[in-house]
Amino acid sequence: MRATVNQDRRTFLKASAAAGGGLVIGFYLPGASGIAEAAAGPAKLNAFVKIGTDGKVTFMCSQSEMGQGCHNALAMMIAEELEVDFKSVRIEQGGIDPAFANPRYVGFRAVGGAQGTGGSSSVRNVGVNVRRAGAAARFMLITAGAERMKELRSECVAENGYVVHKPSGRKVSYGALANDAARQVAPDDPVLKQPSEFKILGKRTPRHDTLLKVAGKPIYGLDVKRPGMLIATVAKCPVFGGKVRSFNAGRALKVKGVKKVVQIGSGVAVVADSFWAAKKGRDALEITWDEGPMAKVSSPGMYQKWAELAKGPTAAERLKVGDVPAALAGGAKRVEAAYEVPFLAHVCMEPMNATAHFKGDSVEIWAPTQAQSWNQHWVSQLTGLPPKAITVHTTYLGGGFGRRLESDYVLDAVETSRAAGNVPVKVVWTREDDIQHDFYRPASYNVFEAALGPDGMPTAWRHRIVGASILQYFKTFAHFLRKDGLDPTSVQGAADYFPYDIANVYVDYVNNNPGVPSGFWRSVANSQNGFLMESFIDELAHAAGKDPYQYRRQLMAKPHAARLRAVLDLAAQKAGWGKPLPSGVHRGIAAHFSYNSYCAQVAEVSVAKDGKVKAHRVVAAIDPGWIVNPNTIEAQIEGGIFYGLTAALYGEITIRNGRVEQSNFNDYKIARMDEMPKVEVHILQGKGEQGGIGEPGVPPIAPAVCNAIFAATGKRIRKLPIKPEMLRA
C-alpha cells in the first residue's frame, strides 16, 4: 500500500482507511520528519505495515530475500513492537518505490535515496525504522482502543493483537480497531520497547519460508512465467571490452524454436520458445568479434606490473599514524612480506536471469535483484523512459553475494524485449556465462613491512595495496572514487578500523585496473584484507617467538579494540586454545571487524603428505550488537565460513589473452559437503550499535586456516588459493 508523499495529513489518513479498510503505517528515514508528517512533507516512507479489519498483519518488506533471512528478522521486529504473534504476520516482498529507500547500506560511507540490499544492512540500518513503524502502529491502536472503550489511554495496553483495559480486563481486537486507528495522529517519535521487554527478539525463531522452500513454492527469477513469454540467451565477446564486428544469424534461425536473432549492447541475443532452443541457436551463431586491447592481457603480466607499482614512490594515502619510516629504520627487527589474492567469481547457485516486457511507454521487470532503485535508474537511462514508467518486481534470489547489485543481466532482458518486438522475454545465463562474464572480487598485490622492538612487539606497520578498483566499474558510486585514485572499497578492513595498538602505521593504495570488471563480493575488501592483516600479524607473532593468540590480545589493549578482543577470547576459550589436539592437527586464529560486527575464529587443520588441506573444526565467536534471531546468526556465520573456506581452498579466476580461463564447476571448484568442517558459533551480545551478520563470517576463515597450516608445516601461505603443491612434503 502506498501513500503519495505530498498530500496533506487529512487526505493521507482518509486514504489509508479507504484503501481496503485498515491501518497503514509507513516508517521514515533518520533525520526526516515524523510518521504523521510523512505524507505532508518531503520525507519518504520506507516500508509499510497493513492491519486489516480481519486483524491480520501484512508486512511489506523492502529488502531482497536471498537466503540470509532478512524477511524473517524484520518481520520479527514488526511483531515485537506491534505486540502480535510472529506466526500471524504475513510477509510480502515490497515493490519498487521511493518509499522503500534504504537510508544507509554502503559499508564505507552512509548513502541514502536508493532501495537495495547489501552491506549486511537490512537489520542494522532498516531494522530501527521497522521497529518505529510497529511502535507507531501500537500507539495508534491503543489510542483508538481507549476511545472505543471510553477508558483512559494510560490504563490500556497492547497484548497479542488486542488493546486491553488493564483494570477491567475488557479488550478490543486490532481488526475491530484498524479503521479507527487509521484516523489517529501517529507519534513523531514512537517509544520503542526495551530489550528487557522483548518477547520475540533474541529468541530462536524458525524461518517462515523454510517449509515453503522445501515445497518449492517461492518464485525465483528462473520460475517467472508471463503470457507470451520467450526465452533468450546472449552471446557475449569472450574478451572483456570486446564488441560485435559482424554476425550471421542464418544457421541459428534454422534451429527449431528460434524466433529471432537480435543485436543488443552486450552482444547478440537469440530469442526462442525454450531455453534449449535458444542455447542451440546461440551455439550455431557465426560471430566475428572485435576483441580490443584486452586480448593482450593475461594474469602473470598483471601481477608483474602490480609488483613493480608496489615499489614505486606514488600511492594514495589512506591511514597515517606516527612516523613509519623512522620507526622502520630504528626497529630491532624488521619483517617483510608480499601477498597476492586473486579475482573471484560469485557463482550464485541461481545463474543470472531476468524477465522484462518493454511496452513502448513503460517497462515491467521481474528479477532476482539486490538493487531495485539502481535497476530502475539504469533502465531509464537505457530506454529514455522516466523512472515512474519502470516497474521492478523482486523475486526470491538464489544467492546474491553482491553479484545482483549489478544491472547488466536486467539490461540484457530489457534490451532484448525491445529488440524482439516489445514481447516479454526471459534472459537466462548459463553457468559458463555466469563465471566468464561476472563482476569479480578485485585481485590485489600487497607489500607489508613491520619493525619489532626489543620486546618483540611491533613499533611500525606499513601496508601497500595495489590492484583493481570496484568503483571504476560500479558507476552508481563512481563519485566516491578519490581524485588520487583511492577506492574506499579497496581498503576496507585494512585502514578503516585498525585494531592493533601500534604507534606508527601507514596504509596506502595504488589503483591499477587491468580491465577486468570488478564488483562487490561477499564482505568486499574485508574478504582479502582480513586475510592479509591477520596473516601478517601472525607472522609478527612467530617472528617475536610469541603465542599468536596472546600476541593479538596484548595488541588489543586499547578501549577501541575491546569488543574484538572479547570475541577473540571467547573463540580461543571455546576452542581450547593451548590444549592438546589429535596428532597432525594444528590450530590457527584470526579476528576481524566488518559491518559493525566483531568476529573471531579458530580453525583446526591438518595437512596430508600430498599437500591436501583438511579443516576439521572451526570455532567462531561473533558480537553483532543486540540479537534478533540466534538461528539466523548461526546460519549466516556457518555460511560465511564455508563461502570463505571455498575461496581459500579453490577460488581463483585467471585471465589469458583477455579471457577468463575458468568456465564451470569442473575448473572453478566449490568445496563439497564432506569438506565442511564442524562449526561451532558462539554469540556474544555486545553493547553498541547494531551490527550486520551476512558478511562478517567470511574474513577470518582464510587467515585462521592459513595460520593453522603454518603451525602444521612451517610454511606461510602468502598467495591464495591454497594449492597442494605449496605444501607437499
CA-based torsion, 686, 689, 695, 696: positive or negative = negative
Helix (H, G, I), strand (E, B) or coil at 540: helix
Question: What are the tens digits of pLDDT across the range 631-664?
Answer: 999 999 999 999 999 999 999 999 999 999 999 9
Cell digits for 536? 601478517
Instruction: State the angle between helix axes of 630-650 and 526-543 in degrees (0 to 180), rounded to the nearest 10.
Output: 70
Helix residue ranges per DSSP H, 122-267: 127-149, 174-182, 210-214, 250-253
Largest CA distance in the chain: 84
What is the arithmetic mean of pLDDT over 291-297? 96
What is the arithmetic mean of pLDDT over 12-40? 38
Q: Is the pLDDT of residue 10 over 50?
A: no
Q: Is the pLDDT of residue 77 over 60?
A: yes
Question: What are the tens digits of pLDDT across the range 374-383?
Answer: 999 999 999 9
Residues in the chain, total: 729
Q: What is the pLDDT of residue 130?
A: 86
DSSP state for residue 195 in the 8-state scheme: G
| Residue 313: partners with Cβ closer than 8 Å, 6 or more residues away | none
Q: What is the pLDDT of residue 115?
A: 86
Q: What is the pLDDT of residue 101?
A: 75
d(CA 117, CA 62): 9
Q: What is the pLDDT of residue 117?
A: 92
Q: Give kind and range of the element (H or E) at residue 494.
A: none
Q: What is the pLDDT of residue 43?
A: 16
d(CA 656, CA 257): 35
Q: What is the pLDDT of residue 18?
A: 38
Q: What is the pLDDT of residue 433?
A: 98
d(CA 167, CA 421): 69
DSSP state for residue 381 in the 8-state scheme: H
Q: What is the pLDDT of residue 44?
A: 21
Cβ-contact 29, 129 below 8 angstroms: yes
Angle at 412 between CA 408 and CA 414, to 5 degrees: 115
What is the arithmetic mean of pLDDT over 547-574? 97
Question: Chain-centre distance of CA 636, in angstroms?
Answer: 11
Question: Chain-centre distance of CA 79, in angstroms?
Answer: 25
Q: What percentage of the chain reaches a pLDDT higher than 70?
A: 91
Question: What are the tens digits of pLDDT across the range 592-643?
Answer: 999 999 999 999 999 999 999 999 999 999 999 989 999 999 999 999 999 9
Surface-to-core class of residue 189, CB atoms within 10 Å of its CB (0-12 exposed, 13-18 middle, 19+ buried): exposed
Which position has the grid cell 484516523? 183
Average pLDDT of the chain to the nearest whole number: 91
Return the closest-CA partner of residue 565 out of 636, 495, 621.
Answer: 621
Q: What is the pLDDT of residue 113?
A: 66
Any long-range contacts for 127-130 (C-beta under 8 Å, 24+ apart)? 127/73, 127/74, 127/77, 127/628, 127/690, 128/30, 128/690, 129/27, 129/28, 129/29, 129/30, 129/46, 129/47, 129/103, 130/27, 130/47, 130/74, 130/77, 130/78
In CATH, what class is 9-210? alpha beta
Return the closest-CA partner of residue 85 out of 177, 162, 192, 182.
Answer: 162
d(CA 519, CA 470): 5
Please give the backbone phi and psi of residue 59, each rounded to the nearest 5 degrees, phi first. -105, 120
Helix (H, G, I), strand (E, B) or coil at 710: helix
Q: Is the pLDDT of residue 696 over 50?
A: yes
- Per-residue b/e over 678-714, b at no fewer than 16 CB within 10 Å? ebbbbbbebeeebbbbbbbbbbbbbbbbbbbbbbbbe
d(CA 408, CA 343): 19
Q: Give kind and range of the element (H or E) at residue 551.
A: helix 548-555
Q: What is the pLDDT of residue 103?
A: 65
Question: What are the tens digits of pLDDT across the range 501-531?
Answer: 999 999 999 999 999 999 999 999 999 999 9
What is the arithmetic mean of pLDDT over 340-358? 98
What is the arithmetic mean of pLDDT over 259-267? 98
Return the closest-CA partner of residue 305 out of 578, 516, 574.
Answer: 516
Question: What are the tens digits of pLDDT across the range 149-200?
Answer: 999 999 999 999 999 999 999 999 999 998 888 888 888 889 999 989 999 9
Question: What are the tens digits of pLDDT across the range 197-248?
Answer: 999 999 999 999 999 999 999 999 999 999 999 999 999 999 999 999 999 9
Q: What is the pLDDT of residue 106?
A: 41
What is the arithmetic mean of pLDDT over 704-727? 97
Q: Where are the beta strands (DSSP E) in 15-155?
A: 22-28, 45-52, 57-61, 89-93
Q: Given 3.30.365.10, 1.10.40.30, 3.90.45.10, 3.40.50.720, which CATH number is that of 299-344+440-727?
A: 3.30.365.10
Q: Is the pLDDT of residue 307 over 60?
A: yes
48 — pLDDT class (breaks 50, 70, 90): low
Q: Give kind and range of the element (H or E) at residue 406.
A: none
| Residue 648: partners with Cβ closer than 8 Å, 6 or more residues away | 531, 701, 702, 705, 706, 720, 721, 722
Q: Is the pLDDT of residue 19 over 50?
A: no
Terminal alpha carbon distance of the chain: 65
Q: What is the pLDDT of residue 25?
A: 53
Q: Is the pLDDT of residue 31 over 50?
A: no
Fold match, 9-210 / 299-344+440-727: yes
Cβ-contact 226, 355 below 8 angstroms: yes
d(CA 81, CA 78): 5
Q: In what order do the strands lie in the sheet with 230-235?
A: 258-264, 267-272, 230-235, 425-428, 353-358, 363-367, 390-394
Q: What is the pLDDT of residue 278?
A: 98
DSSP state for residue 84 in the 8-state scheme: -
Q: Between the CA of residue 424 and those of 229, 376, 397, 529, 613, what are the distances in Å?
A: 5, 17, 20, 43, 49
Q: What percentage of the chain reaches a pLDDT higher than 90?
A: 82
Return the closest-CA partner of residue 463 out of 474, 447, 452, 486.
Answer: 447
Cβ-contact 501, 558 below 8 angstroms: yes
Q: What is the pLDDT of residue 100?
A: 73
Question: What are the tens digits of pLDDT across the range 456-498?
Answer: 999 999 999 999 999 999 988 888 999 999 999 999 999 999 9
Q: What is the pLDDT of residue 368?
A: 98
Q: Is the pLDDT of residue 687 over 70?
A: yes
Q: Where are the domains of the chain?
A: 9-210, 221-292+352-428, 299-344+440-727
23 — pLDDT class (breaks 50, 70, 90): low
Model's pTM, two decimal places? 0.92
**221-292+352-428 architecture in CATH?**
2-Layer Sandwich (3.30)
125 — pLDDT class (breaks 50, 70, 90): confident
3-class DSSP string for 138-162: HHHHHHHHHHHHCCCHHHEEEECCE
Q: Other C-beta atoms within 10 Å of 410: how many? A: 30
